[in-house]
Structure 1
């Protein structure tokens, strides 16, 4: 199902066709742009605008599929009981099946890591490899990561952000998604994070702090990928939880790189370098298909 751009998302800012997929009683928005090997661009908590500039640099050589989980971006807003990692996992799986994606390279960011890996646990035959960009793919352990997730997932933090929009506002600056964006693009990013979407984001943080089946399924997928091509791309100033070393421990063959001066959004900090790194790595590690 194809839809027109809403008024706040002009084609000059989002030059890709928007499509919608029924997921239960709701519609999930996705973008399917380009031709070639499939990159499934996965994020949970914000929305697919994060991937705009990366898609623009890769769609001449890759099929780039991005989406907005229910409750965010261009997708339908949903009740609280559907604002969970399980719901995101199921929606990703539904999208994979609907598009019959094969030979997938998962490109993961933030909570897109555990959710997409969990969705892939029952679709392992469809995977070729993964790119991890400032994300994790396992159960949160220790003190720091679970503590951060609980703080950002708390009711107080959720309602404060619902009232003030402090997190999307901060994220849209040069310290986040907005590093390479002009003013209209920053405004558009914030428009996709309305009050309901902000509440959804914080409920996903809360859910991620728990020892969930989604995280266990993600770990199962990582075991399957131990001998598959893998790449991690982190901002040079963004690996404050030392995820790079944890990816290395789980995927010994992984190639690792950093974005100079990058923070939490490498695809936005320097989309040119990230796109070139993915293209070179993919060419070196995947045989062309006839």
Structure 2
């Protein structure tokens, strides 16, 4: 078990915006930033592309009764910046695995969003005995198929969009709006979110999109685990009412017929930001029923 070291707080990350300390866990791919707050059953939050600020309001709601741990993927948020050839879903999954091992976490509920879905499931596949349950928040966990899905990943992962976003920062700005993470945030909160996605992190975000389209190795590992070691794990899916254009919730139902599925009224792609109190209540109540 490793004792994480405390990371210096950047000037732009005020205690008002993020009232917790952030620590670093050493991994083969560099230091990974985590925030570890609260006491109780363990929840590990996995997002790949943006950073842990997307979970802030959910942490505030859940940390009184759960131990909540967020992870910034390699190249993102407060984690070390890494070369482009080291940005992959497997690297994100390895970071999650490193945190699970170095903190010796067991009976974990994994909560994943967006590209964090495959990363979380791959980490679960690598250590299924440490995982008690899975929560899928507007995410997928399988090999992308179909023209719309694969086309979106190809466009978002393309070199021209990566270069333009690195220069202009249009994706963090769009994401921080009221239809993204910023529905209930202040202007200062949105600025903090964008500050955590600097030029290098923006390039990494687009590289994660590109890798999600072609990471056959990670999908093979997930497929094998879903058919065996993860097949009986309790699953909760939480999607925004207005954001499941590719039909991910029915796919989760086919993979896990026993899954509980919830919709956040009026929610978009970040339901945990649209209504954090409702999402916290859904997770809390479901967790109580599965006895994790």
The TM-score normalised by the length of structure 1 is 0.97
Does structure 1 conserve the Cα–Cα contact (< 8 Å) formed by 2:125 and 2:230?
no
Q: Which runs of 5+ in 2 are unaligned?
A: none
Deviation at 1:201, TM superposition (A): 0.4
Match of 1:132 among 129, 136, 141: 136
Q: What SS does the corresponding residue of 2:214 show, helix, strand or coil?
A: coil
Does structure 2 conserve the Cα–Cα contact (< 8 Å) formed by 1:89 and 1:119?
yes
Match of 2:86 among 82, 86, 92: 82
Separation of aligned partners in 2, 1:149 and 1:101 = 32
Does structure 2 conserve the Cα–Cα contact (< 8 Å) formed by 1:137 and 1:222?
no
Which deviates more, 91-100 or 221-230? 221-230
| Cα separation, partners in 2 of 1:115 and 1:173, compared to 1, 3 Å | same
1:151 is matched with 155
Deviation at 1:234, TM superposition (A): 0.1
2:195 is matched with 191
- Per-residue CA deviations over 1:143-176 (Å, capped at 9, x if unaligned) read 1111100100000110111111111001001010
1:274 is matched with 279
Instruction: Say yes or no: does 1:56 pair with 2:95.
Output: no
| Cα separation, partners in 2 of 1:282 and 1:25, compared to 1, 3 Å | closer
Deviation at 1:227, TM superposition (A): 2.2
2:25 is matched with 21
Instruction: Say yes or no: does 1:179 pair with 2:189.
Output: no
Q: What SS does the corresponding residue of 2:208 show, helix, strand or coil?
A: helix
Does structure 1 conserve the Cα–Cα contact (< 8 Å) formed by 2:240 and 2:266?
yes
Separation of aligned partners in 2, 1:275 and 1:195 = 32
Separation of aligned partners in 1, 2:8 and 2:208 = 28
Deviation at 1:233, TM superposition (A): 0.2
1:169 is matched with 173
Deviation at 1:84, TM superposition (A): 1.1
Separation of aligned partners in 2, 1:262 and 1:25 = 35
| Cα separation, partners in 2 of 1:241 and 1:25, compared to 1, 3 Å | closer
Instruction: Say yes or no: does 1:66 pair with 2:70.
Output: yes
Does structure 2 conserve the Cα–Cα contact (< 8 Å) formed by 1:103 and 1:128?
yes
1:38 is matched with 42
Q: What SS does the corresponding residue of 1:274 show, helix, strand or coil?
A: helix
Does structure 2 conserve the Cα–Cα contact (< 8 Å) formed by 1:48 and 1:67?
yes
Separation of aligned partners in 2, 1:181 and 1:126 = 34
Root-mean-square deviation (CA, aligned residues, Å) is: 1.1
Does structure 1 conserve the Cα–Cα contact (< 8 Å) formed by 2:43 and 2:68?
yes
Separation of aligned partners in 2, 1:257 and 1:21 = 33
Deviation at 1:26, TM superposition (A): 2.2
The 4+ residue runs of structure 1 with deviation greater than 4 A are none
Deviation at 1:222, TM superposition (A): 2.7
Separation of aligned partners in 2, 1:98 and 1:270 = 32
2:109 is matched with 105
Deviation at 1:25, TM superposition (A): 6.0
Match of 2:254 among 249, 253, 268: 249
Does structure 2 conserve the Cα–Cα contact (< 8 Å) formed by 1:140 and 1:211?
no
Does structure 2 conserve the Cα–Cα contact (< 8 Å) formed by 1:115 and 1:218?
no
Q: What SS does the corresponding residue of 1:179 show, helix, strand or coil?
A: coil
Deviation at 1:218, TM superposition (A): 2.1
Separation of aligned partners in 1, 2:270 and 2:70 = 16
